Amino acid sequence: MDINKQYKNISKKILAIDDPNNLALKYITKKINSNNYRNVPSPEQNGQNVDQVWKFLSVLNKKKYKMLPIPPGDDDGRMTSRDFPLYVEFKTEVEKKLGKMTKNSIKKNYGVDLHRGGLITRFDKNKLETDPFKRSIVYYFQITQDGKKFAKEKNKIKRDKHYELYTERLIGDLKEDVEKILSDKNGINYLTFHEVMFFVISMRDNDENLFLDYNQCIELLVSYRKLSKHARTNEIHDILSTSLKPSNFENVTKTYKRDYDNWVNKINHIFEKLDFGSTFNIVDKEKGNAFQKIQYASISKTKKQIDRDKNERKKYFEKHFNKNEKKLKKDNPNLKAFELDHIVPRKDGKRMEPAYQKNIENHKNLLFISADKHKIKSVQRSKFKILEKLENNDLMYKSFDGECLILKFKENVLYNPKLIDDMLSHNKELLDWH
């Protein structure tokens, strides 16, 4: 059968579950029809825990592995002790601590996650650092300073803290999205496994056809919850798990195949990381993926943070526009897609002292920007955190590696120019704290 007809038939089954105009169902079919349906960074290694990461790093931290050569390619058979003696020695040591491993599990699971989480650096053949979020041929591993601290830590409780910071770097942006959804006054006090899988994770999607801003995500969550519980927990799952099997898609390359089990597995890795630490509880795990929900581990613990955030948001609009957000958007319909952005992202405050966290939430660290610019910042994992002033009240976000994001006044950003000097000063203080 023609591949597009297959997608179309699956889409018809999904839309037939309920009202075919239901926005959530339509978006799910849109995902199914895209080759980027699961196109978001996620932890690679299922079951990777504190102890495993610590043991892996304790081996890599040995002086002889300071710049460890890694066999390029996917085939373990190409690796010989003669070609890569140091790597073979490293692999043998790791296996003594963690059990039998393939070259690919070291490279693709541990290597990818530990690089994204800031515990190792991977290099190309010229010993230049590779981008942790892009595919590239890796020739060397090197442990970072944070990785060394983790590897040397003997105190188990402190190792847990290192691991929590590591997971924060892996999924910090997504965690921030989940916190925002659960803390805002939108009637949503939990998120299910499938809601994260279908909608929430798309707030970090770099495919512009699938990307959802905050308001779009909330709209789809509300639409999804209008479906019956049976449809949400059984019917959609049954259709996708039966239809989206690689073996069902014949005579096409891997790009055009769909794999529901793999998709679920990617989200499960994320849930495992969200379940570590004190912010969230993952409940109903014994019933299977479809019933899992994310909730705050302690509402009382987070309420002070939530109230402070709301008060600072309110201050921003009062100081910059002398009116609240609702009134501003009502008076200016073109601002409906504008969103408040933390200039230095909230996740940066998670691993710092309370005084720093408080200043992250300060209204001087907020900026009212258009959804398209907010999207660019989001998919770049919030690396644009340096604020600079340009001519005509335009502003510029910069990253530490020199990339820029221009914000045109009134077109991409709205603020009171009289307050910009205080904002720039506050931004500098936050960055100097790093």
**Three-class secondary structure of residue 405 per DSSP:** strand
Closest CA to 344 of 375, 366, 313, 371: 366
pLDDT given for residue 297 in this prediction: 44
Q: Is the dihedral of CA 39, 45, 46, 51 positive or negative?
A: negative
pLDDT score of 298: 35
- Residue 267 confidence (pLDDT): 84
What pLDDT, on the 0 to 100 scale, is given for residue 304? 45
Query: How far is Cα 413 from Cα 338, in angstroms, rounded to an integer?
Result: 8
Q: What proportions of the chain, in percent to the nearest 5, are helix, strand and coil?
A: 55, 10, 35
Identify the pLDDT of residue 412. Answer: 93
Burial pattern 72-83, b for ≥16 Cβ within 10 A else e, equals eeeeeeebeeee
Long-range contacts of 257-264 (CB under 8 A, 24+ apart): 258/32, 258/37, 262/38, 263/37, 263/38, 263/197, 264/197, 264/289
- Give me the tens of pLDDT residue by residue for the chain, a chain 434 residues long: 688 889 999 999 999 999 999 999 999 999 999 999 887 666 655 557 889 999 999 999 999 999 999 988 665 555 566 788 999 899 999 999 988 877 677 887 789 889 988 899 999 999 999 988 788 889 999 999 999 999 999 888 788 888 888 887 887 778 888 888 887 777 888 888 899 899 999 988 878 899 999 999 999 999 999 999 889 888 998 999 999 999 999 888 888 999 998 888 888 878 777 766 656 767 665 556 655 665 544 333 344 455 557 788 899 999 999 998 889 988 988 888 898 999 998 777 655 666 677 788 899 999 999 988 887 887 666 788 999 999 999 999 998 888 899 999 999 999 999 999 999 999 998 888 75
Of 141, 197, 200, which Cα lies nearest the Cα of 173? Answer: 200
342, containing H or E segment: strand 338-342
For the chain, helix (H) and strand (E) counts, in that order, are 19, 12
The pLDDT score that the predictor gives to residue 397 is: 95
> Which stretches within 119-210 are classed as H helix?
145-152, 156-183, 193-198
Beta bridge partners of 141: 68, 122
Structural domains of the chain sorted by starting position, each given as residue range(s) with its CATH number in brackets = 3-33+160-296 (no CATH), 50-152 (1.10.10), 299-432 (no CATH)
